[in-house]
């Protein structure tokens, strides 16, 4: 069975080494806090204004300013800065915290399109860092798609086992 | 509804600030790689020799040397060292990667007892670092219990909705 990271690489087209090239130097020290705040603000402005209701509605239980803070604090922590996210919210637990959301291939692509547009508009981030960050984002988005499919597998298995109406009956083939 | 980190604090008795006091200084630079390898080796020797089959069996699908490497690479990465874990396996995704396992309160306490014994035997780690690390481990163990309960909630909800034998019947109270 393919691992989460193998699926992420296969689906994103970004191999593990390129995805984590963000660790080759300290992006937080290079770019500074404000660059990350600006990027997440631009990104979520696009997301909350998305014309596609199926995508926009996934974020409707969070306030935009909270979404922005959660994201830039995670980026800062993961890219060499102080652990702002964990101090406030604990482990990132990316798959666990995305559990309520249908992170499909289509949702990953739409998330990435908004992020590509936000990155393209950024005047704070140099070209090399933009490439590294987009590789990280692309791999991570499909890592979460892989995590989402794991959830569906578990639920299907559990339905077969746990349905009380089918007690002691052999599982039916469908 | 309590968040994952609120549950982790309530159940572990370790508040967020104490759990992430590991970030106050760089534990990897202070302790060095070999201290982490020794700790994880001691810990997993205890786990794989555990007399309690219910606990030991949770690890039986992994080779002991792989379990040791996964753990010390994560600790090194999280405590200020190079991102060894992510370079090899991607995001830690603590809740997602623990999804196959029944991370109960009892399992968390047993994990912590083995880790306390391993920490107590460590001659590489100073007392202050031991306290910080155990607070982090304790909070994290119960963070994973909280993640595990979220999984059960999802499955219960899903069973009510998806059971094909109960189509169009109202949900029964149990």
> What would the pLDDT profile of B25-41 be if each residue is shown by its tens digit?
999 999 999 999 999 99
**Cβ-contact A129, A32 below 8 angstroms:** no
Q: Is the dihedral of CA B152, B158, B163, B167 positive or negative?
A: positive
Q: Which of B17, B24, B82, B96 would best serve as a mutation to test chain A binding (most A beta carbons within 10 A)? A: B96
pLDDT confidence bin for A1, thresholds 50/70/90 = confident
When comparing pLDDT for B125 and A155, which is higher? Answer: B125
Distance CA A114, CA A44 (A): 8
B165, A162: Cβ pair inside 8 Å? no
A29 pLDDT above the threshold of 80: yes
Nearest CB partner across the interface for B159, out of A93, A151, A162: A162
CA B30 to chain A, closest CA, distance in angstroms equals 18
Three-class secondary structure of residue B60 per DSSP: coil
- Is A168 an interface residue toward B (CB < 8 Å)? no
From A87, A96, A139, residue closest to B96, measured CB to CB: A96
A vs B, Cβ pairs < 8 A, gives 115
Question: What local confidence, expressed as pLDDT, does residue A153 receive?
Answer: 72
pLDDT at A168: 39
Burial of A152 (0-12, 13-18, 19+ CB in 10 A): exposed
CB contact under 8 A, A143 and B90: yes
Residue B162 makes CB contacts below 8 A (sequence gap 6+) with A155, A159
**Closest alpha carbon to B151 in A166, A146, A147:** A147
Cβ contact B155–A158 (<8 Å): yes
Cβ(A124)–Cβ(A28) below 8 Å: no
CB of B145 within 8 Å of a chain A CB? The answer is no
DSSP letters for B64-124: HHHHHHHHHHHHHHHTTS--HHHHHH----HHHHTTTS---HHHHHHHHHHHHHHHHH-SS
Asked which of A37-46, A149-158, B11-20 is least confident by mean pLDDT, the reply is A149-158
Tell me, yes or no, if B4 comes closer than 8 A to chain A by beta carbon.
yes
pLDDT of residue B117: 98
Contacts of A20 in chain B (CB under 8 A): 83, 86-87, 90
Chain B, residues 37-76, CB within 8 A of chain A, namely none
Residue B33 · residue B66 · CB < 8 Å: no
pLDDT digits (tens, 9 = 90+) for A38-52: 999 999 999 999 999
Predicted pLDDT at B108:
98
The pLDDT value given to residue A99: 94
The beta-carbon neighbor of B162 closest among A99, A139, A159 is A159
Q: Is the pLDDT of residue B160 over 60?
A: no
Q: Taking CB atoms and an 8 Å limit, are B17 and A139 in contact across chains?
A: no
pLDDT at B113: 98
pLDDT tens column, B74-120: 999 999 999 999 999 999 999 999 999 999 999 999 999 999 999 99
Q: What angle do CA A57, A59, A62 make, to 5 degrees?
A: 130
Beta carbons of B23 and A162 less than 8 Å apart: no
Judged against a pLDDT cut of 90, whether residue B138 lies above it is answered with yes
Contact (Cβ atoms closer than 8 angstroms) between residue A59 and residue A67 = yes
- What does the pLDDT read at residue A152? 73
Distance CA(B8)–CA(B107), nearest Å, equals 14
Residue B91 and residue A94: Cβ atoms within 8 Å?
yes
Q: Are A86 and A77 in contact (CB under 8 A)?
A: yes
A16 vs A136: CA distance, rounded Å: 9
| Partner-chain contact A16 B87, CB within 8 Å | yes
Nearest CA among B45, B37, B46, B30 for reference residue B127? B30
Place of tokens 């989402």: A148
Say yes or no to pLDDT of A62 above 60. Answer: yes
Give the per-residue pLDDT at A166: 38
Q: Would the CB atoms of A23 and B154 count as touching at under 8 Å?
A: no
| Nearest-neighbour CA in chain B from A129: distance (Å) | 18
- What's the pLDDT score for residue A154? 58
pLDDT digits (tens, 9 = 90+) for A101-145: 999 999 999 999 999 999 999 999 999 999 999 999 999 999 999
CB contact under 8 A, A89 and B3: yes
**Residue A171 φ then ψ, to 5°:** -65, 140
Residues of chain B found within 8 Å of residue A93, distances taken between Cβ atoms: 4, 93-96, 143, 147
How far is it, in rounded angstroms, from Cα B31 to Cα A39? 36
Q: With an 8 Å Cβ cutoff, is A164 touching chain B?
A: yes
Residue A170: pLDDT above 70? no
Q: Which distant-in-sequence residues (6+ apart) come within 8 Å of B67 by Cβ?
A: B40, B44, B47, B48, B59
Q: In a mutagenesis test of the A interface, which of B95, B140, B168 is the best target, namely the one with the most A β-carbons within 10 Å?
A: B95
**What pLDDT does B2 receive?**
87
The pLDDT tens digits of the residues spanning B31-77 come to 999 999 999 999 999 999 999 999 999 999 999 999 999 999 999 99
Q: How confident is the model at residue A22 (pLDDT cuts 50, 70, 90)?
A: very high
CA distance B174 to B169: 15
DSSP, collapsed to helix, strand or coil, labels residue A121 as: helix
Q: Take residue B7 and report the two structure tokens written for it.
A: 């549950």
Instruction: Report the percent of chain A where pLDDT is more than 70.
Output: 88
Nearest residue to B136 via CA among B24, B2, B3, B1: B24
């Amino acid at each position: 069975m393919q691992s989460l990271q193998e699926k992420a690489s296969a689906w994103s087209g970004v191999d593990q080494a390129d995805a984590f090239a963000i660790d080759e130097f300290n992006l937080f020290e290079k770019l500074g806090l404000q660059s990350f705040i600006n990027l997440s603000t631009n990104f979520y402005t696009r997301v909350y204004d998305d014309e596609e209701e199926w995508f926009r509605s996934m974020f409707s239980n969070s306030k935009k300013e909270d979404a922005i803070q959660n994201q830039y604090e995670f980026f800062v922590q993961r890219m060499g800065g102080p652990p702002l996210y964990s101090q406030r919210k604990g482990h990132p637990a990316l798959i666990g915290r995305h559990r309520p959301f249908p992170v499909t291939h289509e949702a990953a692509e739409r998330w990435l399109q908004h992020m590509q547009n936000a990155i393209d508009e950024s005047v704070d981030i140099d070209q090399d860092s933009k490439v590294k960050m987009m590789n990280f984002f692309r791999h991570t988005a499909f890592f979460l798609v892989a995590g989402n499919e794991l959830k569906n597998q578990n639920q299907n298995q559990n339905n077969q086992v746990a349905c009380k109406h089918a007690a002691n009956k052999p599982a039916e083939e469908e």
